[in-house]
Structure 1
């Protein structure tokens, strides 16, 4: 579920327009199951709203609509008791519409506040995780890394440096777990699809690394060449320079990042498939969004989708002879 989905509670609503005679000039009911407890019967165009609203709410509603024609705006929440069910909480918004001075109208929007409340709770939970839990390991990592500049750092033996790196790694793992938790909140109704694709070529001797992060490229280059001395590995910090290289060269395999400036990974894939559709691509990305994995499967050149950090165990089936 994307973040925009948390605002759906404001779009999937029921709407009514009333004229000065209280007749319905337009309506759109999103869920009669919810607002059916507020209405006495299904509405029809030209009918008075007095006839469709439950009698117990009719007097108050009529008074508010009359005041709306005088320019006032109302937003009220109504909890409806439903036998054998949880209470239904509706937000009713009444707004004057004066587009045509000769024909003023009142718009009535009915929002399912139960749904809105649930979404807002998720946003509150997301906000708390981001501002509290997420900050803790980040500040620890920054503090630990700052020790690298400690005046006596050159006196540290290998054991102490390894301990420091282990502490940094532990905090980074905590940070990664929290980010995954945040992602699961946003994508609560989605699951990552298993990547089903053909195997890449058995022998990938000529490999391109495309990532705007130079450190990532260096680390990936080191991982691949450490175990495969015979590989030709070339690095590119932008998609533009990589496309220029492809005009005169044809690698066996491309390891591609998605989030890059100028030309992102998706645009690069489109251009690649137009020029050289038979080159294998493996996406190496920090994203854990299931929608990204699903989108990757729509490109015939993409053979796998790996999540950073890259390890030799993750890629040895791609680069081993």
Structure 2
């Protein structure tokens, strides 16, 4: 067997039932699925595969999803080689947390709808990220910087499974980095809460306790995320195949496509269509099952 199809649900839904597994095995019969390997009963199962050399893993995953119909089960097909990753890079907004931080700042000046619309277009890849960020930050000029701590305490929520994902990978020796097109005033506290080794993001400029409506140049966007992946891998002599990245927006795509496994997490359509893997139902522990971890291997609370 050269590949593996991983079926993943959640603890609450427990939708990877024997009949769901049987449906996928029938759909992938041409890829000679091996005997199922249970990673977590009714939550995550591996199906070893031996597809033809020219087979597209994304097409196999799509066939499996079609066989599952409306079951809340994610399917990812990938090579077995280098499955366990040694470097993990993650986007923050709408990936490791449930919010877009700039939209929450905009709410403080009564402009959330206006700025959120620009954010959505940028994340869909309909407009360039850097000028869109400058435009949105410009609308925040004069905002009391002290609101940031309150927003982190009251509005920012961690995505379920994120801390377990990072803690488990670190316990196994992987290096982890939070790499965001957002702002360091958010990534610093969020990275500390989740347990990342480091974080990188844009710097919001302030003076006299108020935002100036500008960010420090150059802006950390898609190219910088890709460069960070390559830099951190090279510094640790980690081959590309042993890197993992996750994100949801268009500015994550170069990073996702360069990683050994790039995961689109509840992502915008353009991102979900191009990433090697996509997760739409499960929480972030899905990225552990994709690496072959079993539930009993998980670290942290």
Common topology (TM > 0.5): no
Q: TM-score scaled to structure 2, two decimals?
A: 0.29
Q: TM-score scaled to structure 1, two decimals?
A: 0.28
Larger Rg: 1
- Bigger RCO of structures 1 and 2 (CA < 8 A, at least 6 apart): 2
